[in-house]
Amino acid sequence: MADMKVNLCGIEMDNPVMAASGTFGYGYEFAELYDINILGSFSFKGTTKDERFGNPTPRIAECTAGLINSVGLQNPGVDKVISEELPRLAKCFSKKVMANVSGFSTEEYVYTCKKLDSCPQVGWLEVNVSCPNVHGGGMSFGTSPEAAAEVTRAVKAATTKPVIIKLSPNVTDIVSIAKACEEGGADGISLINTLLGMRIDLKTKRPVVANRMGGFSGSAIFPVALRMVYQVASAVKIPVVGVGGISTAEDVIEMMLAGATAVEVGAANLVNPYACRDIIEELPEKMKKYNIESLKSIIGGAI
């Protein structure tokens, strides 16, 4: 029987497949379609200290093998997430969930992470220093090794649960930023967030997205994500979560060979709401095809 179990920062998961933040809401919407307990876990919608309405519309633009989004971290704020969203999730998901956190200052990151750290449902804190869709926050921390390390140290000092730093691909040297986070005490690295992209409407001759640019995701970015996971996993000693363009069970295996302990499926959920379920159900067959008895055994196998 195929052994799909992995251990991410001290927490054992039935399989390495998670849904990525921003593509799975707070989980219960998908629970109406299938039993989401089949997932290893999922990272819920990016959460900030205060409620955010997000960016103006239109926020989405389609493109070849992907899409561009500029949602702008729309969320009800951490207090409502804890009082309303997590209790609803508890009715349909019995595993530990990953809390995705964004902020506009180190103090905001610490405040939000500290609140979520106290929630029994939360297994990991995924600290997003990489969002390209907001001004003055997110990616401004993730493009500097010093700033990313500062956020990492501050969050680690205020929390007890594993802290996984989510990094931006929109940088020159991803390895130096990942290593700075490791030195700052990060328990893991999650990468990549979206690339920065845009589309122009030929009829109006104006950008399709109101914010002009947005996060480019989808299967088109998989080779970039794979390359960065490989580079970072080769350079750090902490676990790496591979994100970006994953849409098949074979993508999962490839990402794990590049060094990922677990993976997150993002844009594929927006195209096919059953994507994560289908990938997990296909994994045993693909493991057999490639003579893999245990997924743990292939982590970093290509390095």
> Do 122 and 99 form a contact (C-beta atoms < 8 A)?
yes
Q: Catalytic residue at 131?
A: yes
Catalytic residue, chosen from 9, 131, 181, 276, is 131
Q: Omega into 132 within 30° of 0, i.e. cis?
A: no
SS3 content of the chain, % helix, strand, coil (to 5): 35, 20, 45
Residue 178 CA to residue 289 CA, distance in Å, equals 34
**Beta-strand relationship, 6-8 and 188-191:** unpaired
Measured between alpha carbons, how far is residue 32 from residues 28, 38, 74, 273 in Å? 7, 14, 22, 11
As given in the structure block, the two tokens for residue 53 are: 């309405």
User: Rg of the chain over CA atoms, in angstroms?
Assistant: 18
The answer to whether the Cα torsion of 279, 284, 285, 286 is positive or negative is positive
Which residue in 68, 78, 84 sits closest to 108, CA to CA?
78
Q: Which residues are catalytic?
A: 131
